[in-house]
């Protein structure tokens, strides 16, 4: 029994990994859906992606280069979207071949509106047919989670720097939406959005919400209120001293 427990912690032929998590984006579910369903955006955000080609029937060929051990190497294969519920959820399958192993899996992504933000919840499995050496599963899962974190960081930056979308929102990867530049009157709103995103990222990095999107949202709002109160007090302090100084100089 003890030997069996040890083997469960290592890759061998037919190992299955379950991975899930959440990430909060400063955008509406419609905007997030558009980004996730846009092939060009995916080419910019997926770590190590070298090719993403539409094949039709919601199927896409990919070539990706993983630079981290123990999964290091080039993988080629196909992704197929098998279920969609705009803009709330979608499901897709993945199958590919690496230099030393074959991988396949199925993933579900759900988008939930939260105070004008979107919580992306992902859950899926990866099945490796074989590996050339015994590798701790937690280490491999850690690498996958790092890649997912890098993807969402790139997606966050993409959403932050792109302007509002116009026209119909595309339903499938590869369909492009029209983009219009942010007007001058939106400058203050954009600055506020960036400040909120900065606070949210700070809360996430400090672990103030223990990875819970709801708690992170509460902490971000607290920090935002504190910053506004601090700015107000500073203005009051300056206002109480400015008349006296002007009077003295006069």
Q: What percent of the chain has pLDDT over 90?
A: 43
Distance CA 41, CA 104 (A): 23
The sign one gets for the Cα dihedral 75, 81, 83, 86 is positive
Q: Which helix (H) or strand (E) holds 247?
A: helix 213-249
Cβ neighbours, 10 Å, residue 4: 7
HSE-CB at 188 with a 13 A cutoff on CA atoms is 1
Q: What is the mean pLDDT of residues 157-173?
A: 58
Beta bridge partners of residue 117, listed in sequence order: 114
Distance CA 177, CA 170 (A): 7
User: Residue 207 burial (CB < 10 Å; 0-12/13-18/19+)?
Assistant: exposed
Rounded to 5°, the CA angle 70-75-81 comes to 120
Which tokens hold the place of 226?
């504190």
| Predicted local confidence at residue 76, as pLDDT | 96
Distance CA 46, CA 105 (A): 17
Distance CA 250, CA 244 (A): 10
The sign one gets for the Cα dihedral 137, 143, 144, 148 is positive
Q: Using 50, 70 and 90 to split pLDDT, how confident is the model at 14? A: low
Residue 152's closest CA among 93, 204, 87, 193? 204
Distance CA 163, CA 140 (A): 36
| Predicted local confidence at residue 171, as pLDDT | 40
At 125-145, the pLDDT tens digits run 998 886 544 567 788 888 899
At 48-94, the pLDDT tens digits run 999 999 999 899 999 999 988 878 889 999 999 999 999 999 999 99
Domain extent listing, the chain: 8-178, 184-249
Distance CA 104, CA 77 (A): 9
When mean pLDDT is compared over 37-41, 168-172, 190-194, 246-250, the highest value belongs to 37-41
C-alpha 201 chain-centroid distance: 12
Q: Note whether 66 and 75 are within 8 A (CB).
A: yes
* pLDDT tops 60 at residue 168: no
- Classify domain 8-178 at the CATH superfamily level: START domain (3.30.530.20)
* pLDDT tops 60 at residue 156: yes
DSSP state, residue 163: -
């Amino acid at each position: 029994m003890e030997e069996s427990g040890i083997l469960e912690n290592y890759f061998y032929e037919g190992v299955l990994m379950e991975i899930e998590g959440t990430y909060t984006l400063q955008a509406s579910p419609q905007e997030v859906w558009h980004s996730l369903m846009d092939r060009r955006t995916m080419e910019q955000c997926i770590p190590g992606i070298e090719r993403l080609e539409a094949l039709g029937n919601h199927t896409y060929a990919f070539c990706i280069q993983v630079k981290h051990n123990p999964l290091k190497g080039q993988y080629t294969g196909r992704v197929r979207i098998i279920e969609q519920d705009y803009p709330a959820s979608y499901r897709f399958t993945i199958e590919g071949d690496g230099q030393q192993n074959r991988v396949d899996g199925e993933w579900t992504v759900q988008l939930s509106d939260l105070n004008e933000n979107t919580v992306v919840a992902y859950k899926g499995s990866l099945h490796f047919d074989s590996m050339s050496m015994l590798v701790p599963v937690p280490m491999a899962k850690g690498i996958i989670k790092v890649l997912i974190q890098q993807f969402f960081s790139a997606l966050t930056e993409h959403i932050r720097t792109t302007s509002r979308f116009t026209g119909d929102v595309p339903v499938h990867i590869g369909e492009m939406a029209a983009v219009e530049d942010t007007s001058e009157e939106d400058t203050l709103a954009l600055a506020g959005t960036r400040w909120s995103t900065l606070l949210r990222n700070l809360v996430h990095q400090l672990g103030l919400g223990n990875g819970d999107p709801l708690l992170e949202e509460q902490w971000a709002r607290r920090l935002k209120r504190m910053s506004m109160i601090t700015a107000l007090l500073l203005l009051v302090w300056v206002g109480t001293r400015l008349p006296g100084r002007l009077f003295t100089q006069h």
